[in-house]
Amino acid sequence: MRSRRSISDIVAVVLLIVIAIAAAVIIYMWLSGLIGSVHTSTSATQVKLEITGASVTNITSTSPVIYDVNATVYNPPDSPSTYITLGELEFTNGTMICSTPISTTTTIPPSGSTTIGPFTCSGPAASPGTPVEVVLVTSQGVQVSYTTSIS
C-alpha cells in the first residue's frame, strides 16, 4: 500500500508542474499578442491626426444652404498613413449641419500636411460668423475636429 501512495503523490506533483507550465505559456502567448491579437497594424489608437486649419464658406443663400469646406490635416511622424472617408459640419453644440462621404482617398503620409477639400454639403442656414466644427473621420474610424466660423 505504501508504494501506491508514493506513486500517486509523484503523479500529482508532476501534474501540478505540467499545469503550471501550460498556464505560464498561455499567459505569455496572450501577453505577446499571439492569441487574440488586440490591435492591427494601423489601429485607431495609433492614428494621431490634427486639423491645423479649416474654412467654411456659405456658397448659396437659398435653403438648403450649400457649404464649401476645406481643411488642412497634419499627420505626425509616429502615426501611420491614413485617409479621410467622411467630412462633417456641426454647430459647436454638436448638432449636425451636414455630412458627406469624401470620394477622393488622398493618403495622408506621416510627417505630412494634406489639404482635404473642398467638399460641399448642404444643410440649414447659418449666418456668417457662426462658429462651427469641421469633423473628419479616417478610414480607421478616428474623428478629428477643428472649430472655425462660417465666412
- Say whether both 100 and 78 belong to one domain: yes
Check if the beta carbon of residue 70 is closer than 8 Å to that of residue 42. Answer: no
pLDDT category, 24, cuts 50, 70, 90?
very high
Whether 71 and 85 map to the same domain: the answer is: yes
Position 18 scores a pLDDT of 96
Are both 31 and 51 inside the same structural domain?
A: no
Mean pLDDT calculated for residue range 79-99: 85
User: Which domain, by its residues, includes 73?
Assistant: 44-149
112 and 49 in one domain? yes
For the chain, the average pLDDT equals: 81
Residues 29-50 have pLDDT tens digits of 878 765 555 544 445 557 778 8
Grid coordinates given for 45: 489608437
Q: How many domains does the chain have?
A: 2
pLDDT at 20 over 90: yes
What CATH number did the domain enclosing 59 receive?
A: 2.60.40.10
The rounded distance, in Å, linking the Cα atoms of 25 and 29 is 6
| 49, 69: one domain | yes
Residue 82 has pLDDT above 60, yes or no: yes
Map grid coordinates 505540467 to a residue.
Answer: 18
Q: What is the pTM (predicted TM-score) of this model? A: 0.66
Mean predicted confidence (pLDDT) in 112-120: 82
4 and 77 co-located in one domain: no
pLDDT at site 4: 53
Asked if 82 and 119 sit in the same domain, the reply is yes
Are residues 34 and 59 both part of a single domain?
no
Cell 462651427 belongs to 132
Q: Are residues 30 and 66 in the same domain?
A: no
Amino acid in the structure at residue 80? P
Give pLDDT, residue 110. Answer: 79
Same-domain status, 32 and 106: no
How would residue 126 be classed by pLDDT, with cut points 50, 70 and 90? confident
Helix %, strand %, coil % for the chain, to 5? 20, 45, 35
* Section 79-89 average pLDDT: 83
Nearest CA among 68, 73, 62, 74 for reference residue 111: 74
- Residue 17 pLDDT more than 90? yes
Scanning the chain, the segments in alpha helix (DSSP H) are 2-31
3-class SS string, 74-86: EECCCCCCEEEEE
Q: How far apart are CA 134 and CA 100, in angstroms?
A: 12
